[in-house]
């Protein structure tokens, strides 16, 4: 095993942009410290770093804002490799409002990108958690999204092109700059959600939308979660066109409204012309009223960004684990109830919330006492995984301490599709250097 050639890296990116020793502490993941962290400032520098790593067989962990760095199977202790940070590559490359497209470097923070677009009346209809830190490239790699995915789709639906550095250091242009394009294979889809295991994303081109005239987020409370879940289905079958549809159990709901009694909450977003938003809010109230929904309330705009963290912030905010269950949308409410029951049977507490229209349920597990045991946590997570499978889906352990991760697989069984994924990985990264061992099917 070769040592990381720090001198060569310094020659590529400049001495100030190669970290070692205690400076590496922000990049420690699951207790493992990288061998170095390198911050290139241009595409050429990224390419040179990847080429160097390929030649010396050094693993690369690509790093944007670090918001999803802890997702994944723990890094192998024998060879943690180098962090390749893209924070210096944070420029808006191009925004042509007339084309409704924009290109930015991968290290640009989502919030900064949105600010630049908003100044010209447009936005990227993707709202990942922690947008001040999350970078455009990181959001693509982690397939991060927020409540507005309900109407506008996820990263895969909005990206039209990328420049990536392949594992051998070659520069590859995936997709293009036009909104409709079927020339060649749809490579951007391959890199979205690949967690840095197939290539290093250096810039991203996306489709944009005009800013809506008005946007509102409202909440309704329900005495029973079951009724709130029924309301989400009624809403889906109605003529309304919400841009977000969130279902919160009482403990998650109290993060948004501490004064709330033990009630479930339905959070619904609308955008469009003012009269459209108003009409939909009125319709919403009359639609869900008979189902037990009451107390229609306008939520402050900052609530949008808080929705992604309500489960982890519940019950004092020290979860023992956070899991993401992807199930059939109509079963989201039922899955939340089952998950809570299963955890309670193990003597644990929970908070659950769902992008109800998408069937994406996030559940956080809490020990009633500080320093709780690992065994019941691991058992409850296994229960949750079984519940997700029972509802036609799968579950990913989004966050847990190393002790839990060593007992519960982060990813669900990928079956036969997992073997195809392994073949893709072997083709694109034959040396297995890009974020090795952290993804689905051992990739």
Partner 1 sequence: MSTVTAAHKHVLRQELEAIVGRGGVLSDPDELLVYESDGLTMFRALADFVVFPTSVEHVSAIVKLANRESMPFVARGAGTGLSGGCLPSEGGIVISLMRMNRVLEVDYDNQIAVVEPGLVNLHLSWAVEPRGYYYAPDPSSQQACTIGGNIANNSGGPHTLKYGVTTNHVLGLEVVMPDGEIVWLGGRTRDAQGYDLAGVFVGSEGTFGIATKVVVRILKKPQAVKTVLAVFDAVPKASAAVSAIIARGLVPAAVEMIDQLTIQAVEDAFGCGYPRDAAAALLVELDGLRVGMEIQAERIVQACRDAGAREVRTARDEAERALLWKGRKSAFGAYGRISPAYMVMDGVIPRTKLPYVLERVNEIVAAHGLRVGNVFHAGDGNLHPNILYDPRKPGEEARVVEAGAEIMKLCAEVGGSISGEHGIGLEKADFMPLIFSAADLALMQRLKNAFNPTGLCNPGKVFPTKKSCVEVGPVAYRPHPIEEKGLAQRF
- Restricting to residues 105-144, name those near partner 1 by CB under 8 A: 121
Residues with Cβ < 8 Å from 340, sequence gap 6 or more?
A: 249, 350, 352
- Shortest reach from residue 69's CB to partner 1, in Å: 19
Q: Interface with partner 1 includes 103 (CB under 8 A)?
A: no
Q: Interface with partner 1 includes 298 (CB under 8 A)?
A: no
The answer to whether 211 touches 257, Cβ cutoff 8 Å, is no
| Of positions 360, 381, 387, 404, contacts partner 1 by CB under 8 A | 360
Binders of partner 1 among residues 186 to 215 (CB under 8 A) are 186-187, 189-190, 192-194, 198, 209-211, 213
Stretch that binds partner 1, among 30-38, 66-74, 93-101, 244-252 (CB under 8 A): 93-101
CA–CA dist 398, 195 (Å, integer): 13
| Sheet with 214-222: strands ordered across | 294-298, 214-222, 264-272, 244-248, 349-355, 360-366, 321-326, 394-399
Distance between terminal CA atoms of the chain?
21
Pairing of strands 36-38, 82-85: parallel
- Shortest reach from residue 192's CB to partner 1, in Å: 6
| Of positions 45, 225, 411, 436, contacts partner 1 by CB under 8 A | 411
Report helix, strand or coil for 364.
strand
Binders of partner 1 among residues 145 to 164 (CB under 8 A) are 153, 156-157
Of the two residues 34 and 175, which places its CB atom closer to partner 1 in the complex?
175
Residues with Cβ < 8 Å from 413, sequence gap 6 or more?
A: 394
Q: CA torsion 32→38→42→46, rounded to 10°?
A: -70
Q: Interface with partner 1 includes 437 (CB under 8 A)?
A: no
Stretch that binds partner 1, among 83-91, 296-304, 379-387, 418-426 (CB under 8 A): 418-426
Binders of partner 1 among residues 251 to 290 (CB under 8 A) are 272-273, 275-276, 279-280
Q: Interface with partner 1 includes 416 (CB under 8 A)?
A: yes
| Of positions 7, 78, 239, 370, contacts partner 1 by CB under 8 A | 239
Q: Interface with partner 1 includes 38 (CB under 8 A)?
A: no
How many CB atoms sit inside 10 A of residue 402's CB? 12
| Of positions 28, 111, 281, 330, contacts partner 1 by CB under 8 A | 330
| Of positions 66, 319, 329, 333, contacts partner 1 by CB under 8 A | 329
Of the two residues 42 and 427, which places its CB atom closer to partner 1 in the complex?
427
- Shortest reach from residue 128's CB to partner 1, in Å: 14
Of the two residues 254 and 324, which places its CB atom closer to partner 1 in the complex?
324
Pairing of strands 244-248, 360-366: unpaired
| Of positions 23, 44, 99, 132, contacts partner 1 by CB under 8 A | 99
Residues with Cβ < 8 Å from 80, sequence gap 6 or more?
A: 32, 33, 34, 35, 59, 61
The answer to whether 359 touches 332, Cβ cutoff 8 Å, is yes
- Shortest reach from residue 190's CB to partner 1, in Å: 5
Of the two residues 59 and 333, which places its CB atom closer to partner 1 in the complex?
333
Of the two residues 401 and 409, which places its CB atom closer to partner 1 in the complex?
409
279: tokens are 């009409």
CA–CA dist 45, 145 (Å, integer): 29
């Amino acid at each position: 095993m070769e040592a990381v050639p720090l001198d060569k890296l310094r020659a590529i990116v400049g001495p100030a942009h190669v970290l070692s020793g205690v400076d590496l502490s922000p990049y420690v993941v699951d207790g493992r410290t990288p061998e170095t962290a390198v911050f290139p400032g241009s595409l050429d520098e990224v390419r040179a770093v990847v080429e160097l790593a390929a030649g010396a067989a050094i693993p690369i962990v690509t790093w944007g804002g670090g918001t999803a760095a802890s997702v994944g199977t723990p890094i192998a202790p024998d060879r943690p490799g180098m962090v390749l940070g893209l924070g210096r590559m944070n420029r808006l490359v191009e925004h042509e409002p007339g084309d409704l497209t924009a290109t930015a470097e991968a290290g640009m923070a989502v919030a900064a990108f949105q600010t630049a677009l908003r100044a010209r009346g447009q936005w990227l209809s993707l709202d990942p958690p922690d947008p001040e830190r999350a970078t455009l490239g990181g959001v693509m790699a982690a397939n991060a999204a927020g409540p507005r995915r309900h109407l506008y789709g996820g990263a895969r639906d909005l990206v039209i092109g990328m420049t990536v550095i392949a594992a051998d250091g070659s520069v590859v242009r995936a997709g293009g700059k036009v909104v409709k394009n079927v020339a060649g294979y749809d490579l951007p889809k391959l890199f979205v959600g690949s967690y840095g295991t197939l290539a290093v994303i250096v810039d991203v081109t996306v489709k944009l939308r005009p800013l809506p005239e008005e946007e509102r987020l409202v909440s309704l409370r329900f005495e029973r979660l079951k009724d709130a879940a029924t309301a989400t289905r009624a809403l889906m079958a109605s003529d309304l066109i919400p841009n977000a549809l969130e279902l919160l159990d009482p403990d998650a709901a109290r993060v948004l409204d501490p004064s709330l009694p033990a009630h479930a909450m339905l959070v619904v977003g609308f955008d469009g012309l003012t009269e459209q938003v108003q009409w939909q809010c009125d319709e919403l109230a009359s639609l869900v009223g008979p189902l037990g929904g009451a107390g229609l309330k306008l939520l402050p705009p900052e609530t949008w960004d808080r929705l992604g963290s309500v489960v982890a912030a519940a019950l004092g905010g020290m979860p023992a684990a956070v899991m993401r269950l992807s199930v059939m949308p109509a079963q989201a409410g039922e899955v939340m109830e089952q998950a809570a029951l299963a955890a309670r049977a193990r003597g644990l507490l929970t908070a659950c919330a769902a992008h109800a229209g998408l069937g994406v349920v996030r559940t956080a597990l809490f020990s009633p006492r500080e320093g709780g045991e690992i065994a019941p946590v691991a058992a409850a997570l296994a229960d949750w995984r079984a519940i997700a499978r029972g509802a036609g889906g799968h579950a990913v352990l989004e966050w847990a301490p190393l002790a839990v991760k060593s007992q519960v697989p982060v990813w669900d069984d990928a079956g036969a599709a997992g073997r195809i994924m392994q073949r893709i990985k072997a083709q694109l990264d034959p040396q297995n250097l890009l974020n090795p061992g952290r993804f689905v099917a051992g990739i």
